[in-house]
A and B are shown apart, each in its own frame.
Chain A
Amino acid sequence: MLTVRLNDIDYSIKQKVNEFTIGEFEQITNILNNPELDKIDKYTQIFTVLGIPQDIIDEMETSEFFNLVKEFANIEDNIDYLVSEKVKEVTINNRVYQAYEGEEFKMNVKQMKMIEKYIKLNPKTYISDLMAIIFKDTQLTNNEHYVDAHIKHKSNLFKDNITVDVALPYVGFFSKELLTNLQTYASL
């Protein structure tokens, strides 16, 4: 966490992957990938997402702003979250959401189909959708789990309550499965 003092107020800015919620991460990546924004616009919007009021940013001196960008980008985080260990379950509001039961996570065809569908539907917020499809509410059955309204509810819940370090190993897994499938079809 990066702490900066602006106008005599201390602001804590999330800086590392394990500090961002999925929702914040999705917003940040969408800002960074927006070709219509220049570098200053991008970081202005990112700092706003991370809790610094817009008027404070607007009043910052240019050198001060660039120093903040420099500090924010200077992260020492060597963990490759895409291949790190997968968290088996998360608890939110006293409800347990479980990704798998056995020793190893396996993605089934239904999940793969749904994830592909949701990526097409919401390409900018697919991480929370992916997590909502993978993590099942242990109090519900499979029938309820795959209902679109329930997926949407969980997607919103996970956006604010799960950090990106939990999600990225699953994103990595899905990408790898997709790549393997593509390679299979290419070889046929």
Chain B
Amino acid sequence: MINSDSFNIPKTWDQITVGQFIELNTIDLTQFESEFYLNLEKLAIVTNTSADDECWEEMDVMELSNIIKTSEFLFSAPANKFKTKLENGFILKAFNDLTLGEFIDIEYFIQDNVITNFTKILSILYRKHRLGDWNEIIMEPYSVIDINARSQEFEDMPISNVFGIIDAYAQFKNEFVTKYNALFEPVFDDEESEFTKEELINDPILQHEMEEEKKLDEKQKKWAWEKLLFGIAQGDIIKINQVTSLGLIYVFNMLAMRKELGITD
């Protein structure tokens, strides 16, 4: 009879890798008829086995229940912590030092799917570095990173080293958006309709106008970043690469200044 000694059953999030964490959080719940199978799948993921493997199928049900009890940490989220320096030598780039291009890409990955894109987000936030002539830290430029290849380097890292970074980034972003609220409106604005449902139902013309407005709004949201970049590059698409390399804070300070002073050229 196979028992828990046959596996290395993780006891804490420190023993779960980023790759396993992503797998755990992308389980298709509709595939599992009961908690029993769902938990079996979770255990299979964290032990790098398959739920259909003989090792699980031959196991005494009571033994499996006991293992599930010892793995109860899997039912809660990892601690909201992160390291600024990782074992593989990558260090965290200060949020304030992010470039406009890095910020746009992070936002895209978060909105697309924060879990499946987690390692890509880590690849932007954690970077290789070297010391310059004055012992200053020089970060590896974003343009030289192959994001797909780099993201694989984070898969085997303990999730407990990086999990809290998303929350910390979200906090930074909220503060940033609040500070530059007026400039962000086209990107993040989720304004509610000024009309009630009844008014819309009873007035087909108003309904049509609202739908058109919604379509336009969706189009603007879809292309908001491109529109911003195009504007800063003054319509010169060759300059867009230069624009994305500019510091995020610097760009938004300049935009805020222009808006406040009414500079429109």
Q: Which residues of A contact B39 (CB under 8 A)?
A: 185
A50 to B59, CA, bound (A): 41
Query: Quick check: is B37 within 8 A (CB to CB) of the other chain?
Result: yes
Q: How far is the CB of A155 from chain B (nearest CB, A)?
A: 20
A182 to B36, CA, bound (A): 8
Near A by CB (< 8 A), chain B positions 48-98 give: 56-62, 64-65, 68-69, 72, 75
Query: Quick check: is A5 within 8 A (CB to CB) of the other chain?
Result: no
Query: Quick check: is B1 within 8 A (CB to CB) of the other chain?
Result: yes
CB contact between A109 and one of B34, B58, B75 (< 8 Å): that residue: B58
CB contact between B68 and one of A113, A116, A188 (< 8 Å): that residue: A188
* Contact A109 B40, beta carbon cutoff 8 Å: yes
Q: Which residues of A contact B40 (CB under 8 A)?
A: 109
* Contact B56 A109, beta carbon cutoff 8 Å: yes
Query: Quick check: is B136 within 8 A (CB to CB) of the other chain?
Result: no
* Contact A184 B60, beta carbon cutoff 8 Å: no
Query: Quick check: is A67 within 8 A (CB to CB) of the other chain?
Result: no
* Contact A106 B36, beta carbon cutoff 8 Å: no
The winner among A109, A184, A185, A187 for most chain B CB atoms within 10 A is A109
Q: How far is the CB of B37 from chain A (nearest CB, A)?
A: 7
Closest B residue to A110 using CB positions: B57
Near A by CB (< 8 A), chain B positions 196-213 give: none
Query: Quick check: is A139 within 8 A (CB to CB) of the other chain?
Result: no
Q: Mark B25-54, 1 if CB is under 8 A from A, else 0.
A: 000000001111101100000000000000
* Contact B62 A109, beta carbon cutoff 8 Å: no
Query: Quick check: is A54 within 8 A (CB to CB) of the other chain?
Result: no
The winner among B33, B57, B61 for most chain A CB atoms within 10 A is B61
Q: Which residues of B contact A113 (CB under 8 A)?
A: 36-37, 57
Residues of A within 8 A of B (CB): 106-113, 116, 120, 177, 180-182, 184-185, 187-188
* Contact A180 B62, beta carbon cutoff 8 Å: yes
Q: Which residues of B contact A184 (CB under 8 A)?
A: 65, 68-69
Q: How far is the CB of A89 from chain B (nearest CB, A)?
A: 19
Q: Which residues of B contact A185 (CB under 8 A)?
A: 35-36, 39, 68
Q: How far is the CB of A103 from chain B (nearest CB, A)?
A: 12
The winner among B33, B40, B56, B60 for most chain A CB atoms within 10 A is B60
Q: Which residues of B contact A107 (CB under 8 A)?
A: 60-61
A80 to B231, CA, bound (A): 82
Closest B residue to A173 using CB positions: B61
A185 to B40, CA, bound (A): 12
Q: Which residues of B contact A180 (CB under 8 A)?
A: 62, 65
Q: How far is the CB of B157 from chain A (nearest CB, A)?
A: 26
Q: Which residues of B contact A109 (CB under 8 A)?
A: 40, 56-61, 64
* Contact A181 B65, beta carbon cutoff 8 Å: yes
* Contact B61 A120, beta carbon cutoff 8 Å: no
Q: Which residues of A contact B34 (CB under 8 A)?
A: 116
Q: Which residues of A contact B57 (CB under 8 A)?
A: 108-110, 113
Closest B residue to A107 using CB positions: B61
Closest A residue to B73 using CB positions: A188
Q: Which residues of B contact A187 (CB under 8 A)?
A: 69
Q: Which residues of B contact A106 (CB under 8 A)?
A: 1, 60-62
A109 to B49, CA, bound (A): 15
* Contact A108 B33, beta carbon cutoff 8 Å: no
A107 to B36, CA, bound (A): 14
Closest B residue to A120 using CB positions: B33
A79 to B65, CA, bound (A): 30
A93 to B68, CA, bound (A): 42
Q: Which residues of A contact B33 (CB under 8 A)?
A: 116, 120
* Contact A108 B62, beta carbon cutoff 8 Å: no
Q: Which residues of A contact B62 (CB under 8 A)?
A: 106, 177, 180
* Contact A177 B61, beta carbon cutoff 8 Å: yes
